[in-house]
Amino acid sequence: MLPKISKYWWYQLCGWFVFALVSLFFAYNYGYPISEKLLFKLFLLVALGIAATHSLRLVIIRRNWLSLPMEKVVPRLLVCLVITSFIFTFLLLSLTEILGLSENDKKLSFLNRLLFRSIDNTSFLMLWVLIYYAYHYFQKIRRQEVDTLRLQSLVKELELKTIKSHINPHFIFNSLNSIRALVDENPIRARNAITELSNILRSSMQAEMLETVSLEKELNIVKDYLALEQMRFEERLKVDFEIDEDTLDQPIPPMMLQTLVENAIKHGISKQINGGTVKIISDFTDHNHEIIIRNSGYLNGSMSSHGFGLQSTRDRLSLLFGEKAKFEIKEIGGNMVEAKVILPIELK
């Protein structure tokens, strides 16, 4: 089995391979014959070039120059580049002389050729260092973006959990008050109410682990809750459902619908001497999923803006869907209050 080659070595080999091809292209265009001597010399240049650039990389990593500010690292890099270029050029010229691969032009001495070639190779190695630093710079930015997204996701998750941790006690408190009212009046109904409450708690504990649940699952919780409340209100509470079956698989925040229905009963129906109606509507409108809860009654201070149930709804919609979701509550004609939630449609 072949050993796995790191990404760095792939870039090194591919980069120097492209350099070799470009060198052959220019040699051909300038009339140099593509001989074995030229190919061997080019191979020697590439091998020494890989060794030189890899040595530069080792120095940069071991001395931790990637983390240094530019004003500190630039002088050190320049010194390192000059030394590396001198050694690289010296080895290249020496080997070409020993192997008989040097140019025919002997006008310049070895020392002069070493000087001029070192200057040229310093510029070439500087290009390699710039590419190396640019790669790590963009990698660093990418890692920072990923870390930022992870942090935002963690903050959102913690905020959602905080909201949920307040929803369940709030809901349990109101439900226990409803059951307490039945204990003396009708013990049998109170026992049935406790069964309904256990069903709701079981469903809510399962939903608490999720960011969203299907509308169908949320409706099951709401129906259990309404069955419990109808034991307390009897004929004073009427319930009407108008649900488009195609919306049942659409995702919504868990316990959101139940919280809004509870809000409608607590601040609407319970304030009416003769009770009233709670109507739940779910439909698709204008490429959105629209959920409406209408109840008899009027808006008051806690219900219009500062109530916990309404604020938790706004917070969770903002965290989960951003500006794609909207929530509003208002009075409509005929002694009715309407709470409307608009959600983006999730395509299946």
In this structure, is residue 213 part of a structural domain? yes
Q: For position 203, which CATH number holds?
A: 3.30.565.10
Report whether 49 contacts 13 (CB < 8 A): no
- Burial of 85: CB neighbours in 10 Å, binned 0-12, 13-18, 19+: buried
Tell me phi and psi for residue 299, to 5 degrees: -75, 145
Q: How many domains does the chain have?
A: 2
Give pLDDT tens digits along the chain (348 positions): 445 678 888 888 888 888 888 888 887 787 777 778 888 888 888 899 899 999 999 998 888 888 888 888 889 989 999 999 999 889 988 888 888 776 655 566 778 888 888 888 888 889 898 988 888 888 888 888 877 777 666 666 655 555 555 445 555 676 677 777 777 777 877 787 787 778 777 766 665 567 788 999 889 888 888 887 887 788 899 999 999 999 999 999 888 898 899 889 888 898 888 889 999 999 999 889 999 999 998 887 544 445 666 877 888 788 788 888 999 999 987 789 999 999 998 765
Cα 178 from Cα 295, distance rounded (Å): 19
Of 147, 167, 196, which closes a domain? 147
Percent of the chain that is helix, strand, coil (3-state, to 5): 70, 15, 15
- Burial of 207: CB neighbours in 10 Å, binned 0-12, 13-18, 19+: buried
Helix (H, G, I), strand (E, B) or coil at 278: strand
Helix (H, G, I), strand (E, B) or coil at 280: strand
Of 96, 128, 147, which closes a domain? 147
Helix (H, G, I), strand (E, B) or coil at 252: strand
**Same structural domain, 14 and 127:** yes
**Same structural domain, 131 and 262:** no
Range of the domain at 290: 186-344
In this structure, is residue 156 part of a structural domain? no
Radius of gyration of the chain (CA): 37
CA angle 196, 198, 202 (to 5 degrees): 120
In this structure, is residue 192 part of a structural domain? yes
**Same structural domain, 193 and 286:** yes
**Same structural domain, 336 and 217:** yes
The residues near 181 (Cβ < 8 Å, ≥ 6 apart) are: 232
Cα 245 from Cα 254, distance rounded (Å): 19
